């Protein structure tokens, strides 16, 4: 269903600052000082002890209050309220989140509740969520609940490339899967003239030319640097290719998706999450298979499918249902299609779809993936 906008007004959104480099977490005081002296930090369990020690030493000589808390298992409204209450005790000038997506989403929500700036520092480059102006909220039992949209993106996105290089390479590769979809979904949204995700509280807006340029650059740099970056990450080496892919996965993909929109690839990804066995796979891994589905849905040129599939195979991203831990039964494919059509972004595709059509797209994409595996043996 082409989703024709009734406006020609465009909107663009982005984080206030984006800072990326080796050892940058040690410069945190330089960045928080801009906002004031009282600093409240939410940190992932894995990094909590180390970073609390390291950062406390840095803040010791500075005026104001400094407090860290460990991220507590789930990003639920209950947990956000509890964390906001602790933060309030020091009257924070700025909230900082250091860790994975849920930790950053908690920091964003707490900052929004207390009306103070937020700095997010992702510890892996596994998705493009850090730069965005939303948090995904779960119920205390871990079920998806809702999204919270904010009027602005994070004030600073701070990335320490050393931390990313030390993380398992699988996270970086998953981030590449998320970034892979960006340009195709951007073009689908352009073709259907759908609204992007910027300033939704104020109305609906068109994508800017800037957004389309960023989405294309995201793809080009991914294809050029992905394999080199994966090999560097496996060896925990910071190279120019790795720095490029960290930027591609986080900044370019993040700006791209929020300023243009999601489409078939993320629709299939969300459908896959409805299959119980798929829970073991990462978001970007599922998006990679979703991207193959989008190319099938759009009947993309064979050379383009070759390029995308070759890329996925070179870095180890999924191209079949089996790769995303889903048995290719009609029952599972129907679950994917039904959930995908009901909850997702198919309306942003230029051509309308039905559940049956999506089932065929997913089946054909899976068969295509197997064809490539068989011919490469
Ligand atoms: Zn995504």
Residue numbers of the domain that contains 82:
17-165
Ligand 1 mean position to 246 CA, how many Å? 15
Q: Please report where in the chains the tokens 């119920």 appear, as a residue.
A: 139
Residues lining ligand 1 (ion), CB within 5 A?
178
Residue 369 lies in a domain: yes
Alpha carbon of 88 to ligand 1 centroid (Å): 32
Number of domains in the chain: 2
State whether 271 and 158 are in the same domain. Answer: no
Q: Are 137 and 23 members of one domain?
A: yes
Asked if residue 157 lies in contact with residue 17, where contact means CB atoms within 8 angstroms, the answer is: yes
* Pair (129, 24) in one structural domain: yes
* Cα 126 to averaged position of ligand 1 atoms, centre (Å): 9
Domain end, chosen from 141, 165, 189, is at: 165
Whether 271 and 134 map to the same domain: the answer is no
Residues 141 and 274 in one domain: no
Flag whether 122 is in a domain: yes
Compute the distance from residue 133 Cα to the ligand 1 centre, in Å: 14
Shared-domain flag, residues 160 and 270: no
Q: State residue 3's pLDDT score.
A: 60
Q: H/E element holding 39?
A: strand 39-43
Query: How far is the centre of ligand 1, averaged over its atoms, from the C-alpha of 266 (Å)?
Result: 7
135 in a structural domain: yes
Q: What is the pLDDT of residue 130?
A: 95
* C-alpha to C-alpha distances, 179 to 30, 36, 117, 327, nearest whole angstrom: 30, 35, 27, 25
**Among all chains, which residue has been given the structure tokens 């790769």?**
323
164 CA to centre of ligand 1 in angstroms: 18
Which of 111, 135, 165 is the endpoint of a domain?
A: 165
Residue 210 lies in a domain: no
Q: What is the DSSP string of 82-142?
A: HHHHHHHTT--SEEEEEESHHHHHHHHHHHHHHT--EEEEESS-S-S-TTSSEEEEE-TTS
Q: Is residue 178 part of a domain?
A: no
Q: What is the CATH number of the domain that holds 348?
A: 1.20.1090.10
249 within a domain of the structure (yes/no): no
Residue owning tokens 């949204």:
189
Residue 145 lies in a domain: yes
Chosen domain end from 126, 146, 165: 165
Q: Identify the CATH number of the domain in which residue 127 sits.
A: 3.40.50.1970
pLDDT of residue 2: 47
Residue 199 lies in a domain: no
Q: How far apart are CA 140 and CA 81, in angstroms?
A: 13
pTM above 0.85, yes or no: yes
Reading the chain (377 residues) residue by residue, the pLDDT tens digits are 446 788 899 999 999 999 999 999 999 999 999 999 999 999 999 999 999 999 999 999 999 999 999 998 889 999 999 999 999 999 999 999 999 999 999 999 999 999 999 999 999 999 999 999 999 999 888 778 899 999 999 999 999 999 999 999 999 999 999 999 999 999 999 999 999 999 988 899 999 999 999 999 999 999 999 999 999 999 999 999 999 999 999 999 999 999 999 999 999 999 999 998 877 899 999 999 999 999 999 999 999 999 999 999 999 999 999 999 999 999 999 999 999 998 789 999 999 899 999 999 999 999 999 999 999 86
Whether 214 and 259 have beta carbons less than 8 Å apart is answered as: yes
Residue 46 alpha carbon to ligand 1 centre in Å: 23
How remote is the CA of residue 287 from the centroid of ligand 1, in Å?
7
């Amino acid at each position: 269903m082409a989703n024709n906008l009734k406006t020609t007004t465009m909107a663009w959104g982005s984080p206030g600052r984006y800072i990326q480099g080796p050892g940058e977490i040690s410069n945190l005081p330089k960045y928080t000082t801009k906002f004031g002296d009282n600093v409240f930090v939410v940190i992932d369990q894995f990094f909590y002890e180390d970073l609390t020690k390291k950062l406390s030493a840095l803040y010791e000589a500075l005026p104001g209050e400094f407090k860290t808390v460990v991220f507590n298992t789930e990003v639920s409204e209950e947990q956000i309220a509890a964390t906001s209450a602790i933060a309030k005790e020091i009257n924070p000038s700025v909230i900082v989140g250091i860790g994975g997506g849920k930790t950053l989403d908690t920091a964003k929500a707490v900052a929004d509740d207390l009306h103070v700036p937020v700095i997010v520092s992702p510890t892996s480059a596994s998705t493009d969520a850090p730069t965005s102006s939303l948090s995904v909220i779960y119920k205390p039992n871990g079920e998806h609940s809702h999204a919270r949209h904010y009027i602005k993106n994070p004030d600073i996105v701070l990335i320490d490339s050393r931390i990313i290089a030390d993380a398992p390479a699988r996270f970086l590769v998953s981030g590449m899967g998320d970034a892979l979809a960006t340009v195709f979904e951007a073009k689908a949204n352009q073709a259907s003239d759908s609204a992007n995700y910027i300033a939704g509280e104020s109305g609906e807006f068109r994508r800017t030319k800037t957004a389309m340029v960023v989405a294309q650059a995201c793809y080009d740099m991914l294809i050029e640097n992905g394999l080199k970056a994966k090999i560097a990450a496996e060896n925990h080496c910071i190279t120019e290719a790795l720095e490029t892919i960290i930027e591609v996965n986080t900044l370019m993909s993040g700006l791209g998706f929020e300023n243009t929109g999601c489409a078939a690839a993320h629709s299939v990804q969300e459908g896959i999450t409805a299959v119980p066995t798929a829970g073991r796979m990462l978001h970007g891994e599922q998006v990679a298979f979703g991207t193959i589905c989008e190319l099938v849905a759009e009947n993309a040129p064979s050379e383009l499918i070759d390029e995308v599939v070759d890329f996925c195979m070179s870095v180890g991203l999924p191209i079949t249902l089996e790769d995303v831990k889903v048995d290719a039964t009609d029952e599972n494919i129907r679950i994917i299609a039904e959930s995908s059509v009901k909850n997702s972004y198919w309306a942003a595709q230029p051509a309308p779809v039905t559940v049956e059509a999506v089932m065929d797209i997913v089946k054909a994409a899976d068969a295509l993936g197997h064809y490539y595996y068989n011919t490469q043996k």
